[in-house]
Amino acid sequence: MPTTESRWADSQLIGTRVRSVWQWQLIFTFSVVVITVAVGVLDVGLLATPGFLFGILVIVIASIATLVTPWARTPKHAAFVLPVVDIVAIGFLSLSQPSLGYLWVFPIAWVATYYGTLEIVSSLAAVALMNLADPAHWDFSPGVIVELLIVLLALAFLAITISVGAQRIRAFRALASNQARRLATTVERVQSAEQRVNTVFDSISVALARIAPGGEIVSANSAYRALYSLDTQDLRFPVGGAVEYSAFRGRALAPSETAAARAGRGELVDQERLWLFDRSGTWRALNLSIRSSGANSIGEETFVVELEDLTVVSDAQREAPQATRTIAHELRNPLTAILGHADLLIEGDSLTPSQRDHVAIIESASERMLTLIQGILTQSTDADDLRARFDTAQLVAASIEAFEPAASAASLTIDAVIAGPLEVDGDEFRLRQVVDNIISNAIKYSDRGTLRIAAAVDDDGWVAVTIADEGIGMSSDDVERVFTPYFRAQTVQEGGVPGTGLGMGIARDIVESHGGSITVESALGRGTTVTVSLPAAGRGEGDGL
């Protein structure tokens, strides 16, 4: 049973054969028409000769038959009739004008292109018969014989040359077709193998990514894509904001310090802790390893980033001290009761010496256990205090570096003046959220201009971070309500810029929990300036978060 591929190939051959029949016959007919017009201009009398008129009539009828015949449903050799008919028609034309015999080149070339030796010999025989149909050649004089031989030899040479060339072309075409089919089969096999490999790759629960020099992600499995919220169509563009940190709620890593960037530089890492704040707002503890994976197709060394999710283990480790203190606290109460009653028994007179010794042992063991419990309760009582001293100048610089691509895409120029160090006591992670939110708003509500960012110690000894944009701005009424939950300025709503209206309220709560303040100044069409003031290190402690 023929396959779909073979049926398609047969239909292509049939279509090519039909077009070739039309082309050859119409080209021949066009040539005859041109010659007829020329003859009519140069020799009108020739048009009246019976042989010329009959030859023209035969060609016209053959051309019409060519156009109306369904060649796709006829046998391949049925079209051989047309060049034979043309040879006969040319014979009649040459009876009136012998020079028109040169037109035999057309049907002979046609036959040599598409048919074999038998058809070529038959066509040459038809040319010889039509050449001898002229009564002037019936005497078979030497001149007639020489003329006939020249015509036949010339046409035979032409036919052989065209036939050999056509055979070579058909051979090359068949070879190219076979190679194309083999190539298509090979590509299909490679794609199938690649699909199987990708299926296995995606089934691995550990996040894996192959990194090329420069930090470009060549491939990543589904676990890695989900972890970093990467676009499945283009791994260069993240869908959400997954940010890597050096520690839990610690310092956000600069773009040059990320796992992909380190792999792009060829760093090798084994079992290193990495923290990720993913798109859903969840902290993830990751075990980072970077290993060499060999050269790619162009000889460049590539590396594999392996990230094992240890969030559950990390959460258990962080919750263990609290659980231990809770258990110790609950044990202390019954031990206190045991010690109290043991003391009462020892002070009484109802115990025998042996009983008193046993009670003394109970009291001694209980005191040792109570001492151990008290040690657990007093050990690292401030373990959950996430405040530490850090440099605000470094925090602002890191935030600027993270937002530079977004600012560039919005045609914004960042003009930063940071006078460090600017040490502050507090939660670096939460204060980074504040700076990130303000810079993000400045970029979101500006389409061009300059974003000016300054960080320094003011005249009152406070650390002041000022972020000023040249964006759409707000009215005075909107400025008064900017910290209200879910409030969005009128200009923002009219511009269709997405948002929730919660960011500035959260930022104020964080700043005020550190004993600081946040102010907003704005004017419609003239931009907005946000200033965050924080007490410098040692100046004072804020309330807990």
Task: Choose the final residue of a domain: 378, 401, 429.
Answer: 378
Q: Is 334 domain-assigned? A: yes
Of 374, 377, 366, the closest CA to residue 324 belongs to: 377
The answer on 16 and 159 residing in a single domain is yes
Kindly report the CATH number assigned to the domain that includes residue 394: 3.30.565.10
**pLDDT, the chain, mean:** 78
Q: Give yes or no for a contact between 333 and 366, defined as CB atoms under 8 angstroms apart.
A: no
* Other Cβ atoms within 10 Å of 52 Cβ, number: 21
The answer on 160 and 17 residing in a single domain is yes
- The pLDDT tens digits of the residues spanning 517-536 come to 999 998 888 889 999 999 98
The answer on 372 and 283 residing in a single domain is no
The answer on 30 and 166 residing in a single domain is yes
| Confidence bin at 360 (pLDDT 50/70/90) | confident
Which residues, other chains included, contact 217 with Cβ-Cβ below 8 Å and sequence gap of 6+?
Answer: 209, 210, 211, 230, 235, 236, 260
What is the structure's pLDDT at 453? 93
What is the structure's pLDDT at 542? 42
The answer on 530 and 477 residing in a single domain is yes
The answer on 156 and 8 residing in a single domain is yes
Report the number of distinct structural domains present in the chain: 4
Q: Is 114 domain-assigned? A: yes
The domain in which residue 414 lies consists of 388-535
- Backbone phi, psi, residue 271, to 5°: 55, 60
The residue ranges of DSSP E strands in 153-249, in sequence order, are: 207-211, 217-220, 243-245
The answer on 103 and 61 residing in a single domain is yes
3-state secondary structure of 528: strand
Which residues, other chains included, contact 305 with Cβ-Cβ below 8 Å and sequence gap of 6+?
Answer: 207, 208, 209, 210, 211, 224, 259, 260, 263, 288, 289, 290
| Confidence bin at 491 (pLDDT 50/70/90) | low
* Other Cβ atoms within 10 Å of 11 Cβ, number: 11
- The pLDDT tens digits of the residues spanning 189-226 come to 888 877 787 777 777 878 888 888 888 888 888 888 88
Task: Pick left, alpha or beta for residue 491 (phi over 0 → left; psi -120 to 50 → alpha; otherwise beta).
Answer: alpha
The answer on 97 and 32 residing in a single domain is yes
Bond preceding residue 421 cis, omega within 30 of 0? yes
3-state secondary structure of 306: strand
As a whole-number percent, the residues of the chain with pLDDT over 70 amount to 79
Per the document, the length of the chain is: 545
The answer on 478 and 372 residing in a single domain is no
- The pLDDT tens digits of the residues spanning 409-433 come to 888 899 999 987 899 998 888 888 8
- The pLDDT tens digits of the residues spanning 33-69 come to 887 777 767 777 776 777 778 888 888 888 888 787 7
Out of 34-48, 260-274, 351-365, give the one with best mean pLDDT.
260-274
The C-alpha torsion from 131 through 136 and 137 to 141, rounded to 10°, is: -150
